[in-house]
Amino acid sequence: MKDKNQQLNKKNPKKSKKSIFLIERIKAFITDIFMVYTPILYISYIALGSKEAFQQNQFVIFVCFLMYALITSFLFGIKGQTFGYMYAEIKLIRNDGKRVGFLLAFFRFLLFCFSMSLLFGFIFPLLNKNRKTFHDLIAKTDVMQYLREVK
């Protein structure tokens, strides 16, 4: 990954590792939305039978969101990575370097929802020098670059 970052920095010397890293996190989030949340919504939509039934049933929409939260928290708790994090070659760890458990990952997810719903979650990483997000700062977690072993 170091070589990849050096190549990217040679192409555009103004970009630092930190700004590239934020792009990787956004890429991972979008991948998770498509690979985890979209199938949950699609299955619920089919089970209810129509667009109107899905849109009017707020309980089902909440259950879909809760399922997404539980699945991503479970993946973070087990491997430290969701499908998007695997794709972006990044990993979630605690600040002390240990594995993030399910409860901490779920708490972090709730903090993510809170900060993004109030819009300061979008601005927070741009204002601090470490580019840490609000939910990572409060949950005492960190996202690190993760290199897969090539066999």
Question: Which pLDDT value is given to residue 29?
Answer: 93
Q: Per-residue pLDDT for 69 more than 50?
A: yes
pLDDT band at residue 10 using 50, 70 and 90 as cut-offs: very low
Q: Per residue in 114-133, pLDDT tens?
A: 998 898 888 888 888 878 88
Residue 18 pLDDT exceeds 70 = no
What are the phi and psi torsion angles at 145 (to 5°)? -70, 140
